[in-house]
Amino acid sequence: MRRIVVLTGSGISAESGIATFRDTGGVWAKYDFREVATSEGFAANPDLVHEFYNLRRHGLRAVEPNPAHFALAKLERELKVIGGLLTLVTQNVDDLHERSGSQNVLHMHGELLKSRCGDCEETFDQTDNLSVETKCMSCGAIGAIRPDVVWFGEIPRHMGETLTAIEKADLFVSIGTSGAVYPAAGFVAAARRAGAACIELNLEPSENACLFTDSRYGMAGEIVPQWVDETLAGFA
Ligand code: APR
Ligand code: ZN
């Protein structure tokens, strides 16, 4: 089991203090996703969308990676030493995987700390607030800059690389996701077709729990480091 694909969702960042989406009191209990996470919503009320992402971008300054993030960075490093490969695909737009030391992170839903110009498509590192007055540093357009995240109805990123890694994987691991949103929710079925073992590490069974060949339930900060250490010990 030297080629591992890990998919993470908001549950891996929950213990760092970042709200998940569908748990009680989660993000979608406070906001209507159609208003803040669709291109139609952005066109209708860009101020509301900028406020939504400015709050979340600013919130990143107050949070830190948790032991689950650090465990995946350790898995990536130690797999490389023994000639293995970890492909880490995240649905999350936070930077906690990178801040915990993961080198190769595929953000299939984009990143909070990046912005993109709707006119010239240039992308930028983004730490400050965005607004309808923000001017594109590349083409000069005003009001065309948006968060560089993938909204509902838009095409997720890195799908070719992700599906190729799944086809070659010995093991597919899903961490902290409800299995409610495709195409990420379909990765486990692709991994099963490819003959990979599939394990779910989550607080509770996800919507596609029945497709996994193994599962462990609990807080990611506890069960992910345990699982990583056991997996690495098995390679020794
Ligand atoms: N440890 C492990 N799992 C947890 C923890 C925790 N501390 N806290 C919550 N979870 C689990 C929940 O049980 C749930 O299954 O994390 C999952 C979070 O599910 P969602 O809130 O649906 O988040 P996610 O699966 O990441 O959503 C996918 O939907 O709205 C879009 O773009 C958004 O990327 C997001 C996508
Ligand atoms: Zn531009």
158 is catalytic: no
- Point out the ligand nearest to the CA of residue 20: 1
pLDDT at 1 over 90: no
> Residues 10, 14, 15, CA angle at the centre, nearest 5°?
150
Q: Give the mean model confidence (pLDDT) for residues 17-22.
A: 97
User: Could you report the per-residue pLDDT of 75-128, keeping only the tens digit for each?
Assistant: 999 999 999 999 999 999 999 999 999 999 999 999 999 999 999 999 999 999
* CATH code where residue 75 lies: 3.40.50.1220
What residue type is assigned to position 20 of the chain? T
Total domain count, the chain: 2
DSSP annotation of 122: -
Is the minimum distance from the CB of 207 to ligand 1 under 6 angstroms?
Answer: no
Is the minimum distance from the CB of 118 to ligand 1 under 6 angstroms?
Answer: no
160 in the same domain as 84 = yes
126 in the same domain as 195 = no
User: Could you report the per-residue pLDDT of 143-180, keeping only the tens digit for each?
Assistant: 999 999 999 999 999 999 999 999 999 999 999 999 99
Distance (angstroms) between ligand 1 centre and the Cα of 185 equals 11
Whole-model pTM above 0.95? Answer: yes
Cα Rg, the chain, nearest whole Å: 18
77 in the same domain as 92 = yes
117 in the same domain as 181 = no
pLDDT at 42 over 80: yes
Domain containing 128 equals 19-62+112-149
User: Could you report the per-residue pLDDT of 197-227, keeping only the tens digit for each?
Assistant: 999 999 999 999 999 999 999 999 999 999 9
Which helix (DSSP H) or strand (DSSP E) does residue 50 occupy? helix 46-59
pLDDT of res. 87? 98
